[in-house]
């Protein structure tokens, strides 16, 4: 798979045609209480209802569907804190491809079990001591596997962008789009789709306060590396943006903001109470900012990507109970 250039909107359109038959067209939910709270019209794009419980299935399908016969026959390797792993594992099984996944030893149990359940082989590593990318690359080299990283890959980015494409095609022009940010696969694809389909739309990336490398990179104009951030948003514990994702983010994103873990917990509780949805901490990033009052959204049409819903019940209960004490 030779990759010479970065993605354009046409890649997202092609990705959509390629994956449409395999991924869910996720629902767009509205909430009158959230509208009252913000004075806006909010459209929640619910990737927590995507296959494998997160948008990552989109990028995984788009990447694997472009494998050559030889790549298919040898297999795929990936590293992930969870949702990308499940997505690759399930897509690989769907397309009859062997999958090897490099996962941190402290990944949420629900994610490890699900990945195994899809038939992937799992290699564990210590996320505070070892370099997962190096382990992935070594496995790729030794076994002839194709490495599909969780965000820094044009096919992955184009696939993730189909979420915002579906949202805008369904609800029409937006004034704002709030998108969770880890390594930027989701944000880059969604920003490109949003600016192409709704040029006036302000695209805002949202990352956890403890790991604001994206915000600092955006402000500085070069990729900032940080230590693994300590946050409950395990899908956004990335240490840096990608070489493919960063230029797209620089070009198409209007701002990058942060929210605290406490805000994420409040938002998880809001979704559970008011909309009857289980949303994982990382999935709450965009909604937490949109509902924080930081932006004056009165009278605006606002898209929010709810990126995933994979959270252990015990962990969910612990967050909710701790915040009541």
Ligand X SMILES: *Cc1c(COP(=O)(O)O)cnc(C)c1O
Give me the active site residues, please. Answer: 56, 81
Of 44, 151, 246, 319, the one binding ligand X by CB under 6 A: 151
**Range 72-131, binding ligand X (CB under 6 A):** 83
Which residue among 104, 108, 161, 182 contacts ligand X (CB under 6 A)? 182
| Cα(141)–Cα(123) distance, integer angstroms | 15
> Should residue 180 be labelled a site residue for ligand X when binding is judged by CB under 6 A?
yes
Structure letter (DSSP) for residue 54: B
Going by C-alpha positions, the residue among 142, 103, 110, 150 that lies closest to residue 125 is 103
CB of 151 to ligand X, least distance (A): 4
* H/E element, 93: helix 83-94
CA 97 to chain centre: 23
Cα–Cα distance measured from residue 19 to residue 29, given in angstroms and rounded to the nearest whole number: 22
> Taking CB under 6 A as the rule, does residue 282 contact ligand X?
yes
Q: Which stretch binds ligand X (CB under 6 A): 65-73, 184-192, 194-202, 290-298?
A: 184-192
Can residue 308 be called a binding residue for ligand X (CB under 6 A)? yes
Task: Find the part of the chain contacting ligand X (CB under 6 A) among 37-45, 106-114, 135-143, 179-187.
Answer: 179-187
Answer yes or no whether residue 186 interacts with ligand X by CB under 6 A.
yes
Tell me the closest approach of the beta carbon of residue 217 to ligand X, in angstroms. 13
Of 253, 179, 184, 188, nearest to 213 by C-alpha is 184
Q: Does 136 bind ligand X (CB under 6 A)?
A: no
Q: How far is the CB of 78 from ligand X (least distance, A)?
A: 12
Using CB under 6 A as the binding rule, whether residue 307 contacts ligand X is answered as yes
* 165 lies in the site for ligand X, by CB under 6 A: no
Residue 185 binds ligand X (CB under 6 A): yes
Residue with smaller CB distance to ligand X, 35 or 275: 275
Residues 6 or more apart in contact with residue 318 via CB below 8 angstroms: none
Burial class (CB in 10 A: 0-12, 13-18, 19+), 37: middle
Ramachandran angles phi, psi of 305, nearest 5°: -85, 115
Q: Which is nearer to ligand X, 140 or 187 (CB)?
A: 187
Residue 154 contacts ligand X per CB under 6 A? no
Stretch of 26-34, 134-142, 279-287, 311-319 lying at the interface with ligand X (CB under 6 A): 279-287
Look at strands 76-79 and 41-46 and give their pairing: unpaired
Query: Between 182 and 303, whose beta carbon lies closer to ligand X?
Result: 182
Helix orientation angle between 83-94 and 109-117, rounded to the nearest 10 degrees: 10
Spatial contact of 97 and 70, defined as CB atoms under 8 Å apart: no
Among 99, 145, 148, 187, binds ligand X (CB under 6 A): 187
Query: Given the complex with ligand X, which of 104 and 185 has the nearer CB atom?
Result: 185
**If binding is defined by CB under 6 A, does position 149 make contact with ligand X?**
no
DSSP string, 126-142: -TTTS-HHHHHHHHHHH
Residue 253, burial from CB neighbour count under 10 angstroms (0-12, 13-18, 19+): buried
Q: How far apart are CA 248 and CA 33, in angstroms?
A: 34
Q: Which residue is nearest to ligand X (CB)?
A: 308
The two tokens of residue 58 are 């989109």
154 vs 182, which CB is nearer to ligand X? 182
Q: Find the binder of ligand X among 45, 56, 111, 195 (CB under 6 A).
A: 56
Task: Give the footprint of ligand X on this chain (CB under 6 A).
Answer: 54, 56, 83, 150-151, 180-187, 235-236, 238, 280, 282-283, 307-308
């Amino acid at each position: 798979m030779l990759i010479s250039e970065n993605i354009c909107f046409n890649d997202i359109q092609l990705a959509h045609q390629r994956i449409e038959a395999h991924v869910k067209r996720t629902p767009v939910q509205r909430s009158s209480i959230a509208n009252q709270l913000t004075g806006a019209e909010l459209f929640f794009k619910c990737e927590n209802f995507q296959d494998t419980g997160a948008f990552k299935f989109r990028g995984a399908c788009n990447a694997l569907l472009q494998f050559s016969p030889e790549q298919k026959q040898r297999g795929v390797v990936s590293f992930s804190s969870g949702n990308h792993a499940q997505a690759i594992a399930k897509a690989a099984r769907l397309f009859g491809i062997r999958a090897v996944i490099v996962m941190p030893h402290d990944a949420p149990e629900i994610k490890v079990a699900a990945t195994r359940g899809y038939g992937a082989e799992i290699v564990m590593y210590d996320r505070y001591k070892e370099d997962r990318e190096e382990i992935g690359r070594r496995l790729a080299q030794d076994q002839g596997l194709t490495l599909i990283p969780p965000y820094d890959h044009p096919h992955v980015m184009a696939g993730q962008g189909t979420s915002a494409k579906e949202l805008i095609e369904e609800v029409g022009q937006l004034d704002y789009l709030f998108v969770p940010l880890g390594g930027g696969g989701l944000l880059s694809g969604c920003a490109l789709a949003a600016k192409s389909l709704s040029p006036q739309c302000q695209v805002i990336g949202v990352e956890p306060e403890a790991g604001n490398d994206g915000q600092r990179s955006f402000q500085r104009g070069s990729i900032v590396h940080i230590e693994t951030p300590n946050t409950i948003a395990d899908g956004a514990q990335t240490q840096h943006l990608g070489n493919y994702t960063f230029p797209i983010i620089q070009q198409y994103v209007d701002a990058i903001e942060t929210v605290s873990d406490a805000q994420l917990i409040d938002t998880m509780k809001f979704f559970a109470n008011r909309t009857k949805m289980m949303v994982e901490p990382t999935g709450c990033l965009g909604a937490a900012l949109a509902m924080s009052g930081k932006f004056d959204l009165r009278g605006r049409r606002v898209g929010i990507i709810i990126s995933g819903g994979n959270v252990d019940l015990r962990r969910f209960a612990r967050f909710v109970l701790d915040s009541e004490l």
